[in-house]
Structure 1
């Protein structure tokens, strides 16, 4: 399912923002978080939505259906990490979007989806990828099985270098740090990455930087801590929009932080 919003100022040749929802599968809400930015900047917002009925559980969304029901790596052409690129291609073919104008943002489970998408299939048609407040990460290592690492997926050293050299943007709210937060992954591999989402994001970035040093490749990831924000998909959407379209992180008042009503 696609939830979309076309601003009055949008036309082919302007930017399109894809948005990946969290575990609540609320693509309509995540689309709505981006409407103010769309109206200001003349954007089209597209939120591919994976229902829990059809893609039940983390293994069938966050983990991209990379593993089958027996836990074995499934054929790459069945991974749902390819879906956003297919939607983008369809929009280009239909004349709705110009090539090279798509960006993609994901929050919580959507952040997990996106950093794993970039790890395994690359940026594809997206000029920018921002993964925010992910619960945990597939570390950029080939000696730890997926989803804790990338071993067994068919990714080799060239693919790992491509990942580290990509401009992946990792974002985390400075207050998304509670070790007992709702819906925080708690399996041992996740806990080993840090007590809360902020710590795990810092760790992911640090491991990536260290791995780039080991492989002797460039490290082009960006890491942004958003001040005053906890696990809030709306506030993180505002932050990403500010960085992308105003070239700055909005101030705390503009983020409008309050009780986090979107937990995933």
Structure 2
């Protein structure tokens, strides 16, 4: 998370990232995709209290991370060029995520409402 009060891997404390570093990252054209069925807590899944505070599954964590980054960009007054989308029917499955990604890139325009 873009939180300089919490140590890595749950935050950015101790990484030496500046607000300018975050601003540069938020300006990039990042697309965050999540699987609509990626809600399992089976291994491999980090289930520490710190991780669970960010969401109880990967879908929740992705949404929480996206929102936290968007909020941080707003706080910094910098552009936020990230988008998010959902690959319908995919869980934590590389093949299905790749298939959904190609569909989004090749067949459909991607915007924040894709599959949401």
What is the total number of aligned residue pairs between the two structures? Answer: 109
Q: 1:132-147 alignment to 2 at 5 Å? A: 139-147=1-9
Measure the CA separation in 2 of the matches of 1:143 and 1:247. 42
TM-score norm. by structure 1 comes to 0.39
Measure the CA separation in 1 of the matches of 2:25 and 2:107. 24
Residue deviations 1:138-169 (CA, integer Å, cap 9, x gap): x1222221111112112111001111221121
* Aligned with residue 215 of structure 1, among 76, 82, 90: 76
Gaps spanning 5+ residues in structure 1: where? 1-138, 250-264
Measure the CA separation in 1 of the matches of 2:28 and 2:2. 12
Give yes or no for the alignment of 1:155 onto 2:17: yes
- Specify the structure having the higher radius of gyration (Cα): 1
Checking the alignment, whether the CA contact within 8 Å between 2:35 and 2:59 is kept in structure 1 is: yes
**Going by fraction, where is strand more abundant, 1 or 2?**
1
Residue deviations 1:22-49 (CA, integer Å, cap 9, x gap): xxxxxxxxxxxxxxxxxxxxxxxxxxxx
Superposition deviation, residue 194 in structure 1 = 0.7
* Aligned with residue 30 of structure 2, among 168, 178, 183: 168
Find the counterpart in structure 2 of residue 199 from structure 1. 60
Measure the CA separation in 2 of the matches of 1:220 and 1:141. 19
Gaps spanning 5+ residues in structure 2: where? 110-116
| Greater relative contact order, per chain length (Cα 8 Å cut-off, separation 6+) | 2
Measure the CA separation in 1 of the matches of 2:107 and 2:5. 38
Measure the CA separation in 2 of the matches of 1:181 and 1:171. 20
Measure the CA separation in 1 of the matches of 2:89 and 2:43. 18
Checking the alignment, whether the CA contact within 8 Å between 1:142 and 1:156 is kept in structure 2 is: no
Checking the alignment, whether the CA contact within 8 Å between 1:194 and 1:203 is kept in structure 2 is: yes
Find the counterpart in structure 2 of residue 190 from structure 1. 51
Residue deviations 1:99-149 (CA, integer Å, cap 9, x gap): xxxxxxxxxxxxxxxxxxxxxxxxxxxxxxxxxxxxxxxx12222211111
Measure the CA separation in 1 of the matches of 2:80 and 2:22. 11
Secondary structure at 2:38's aligned position in 1? coil
Structure 1 residue runs of 4+, over 3 Å off? none
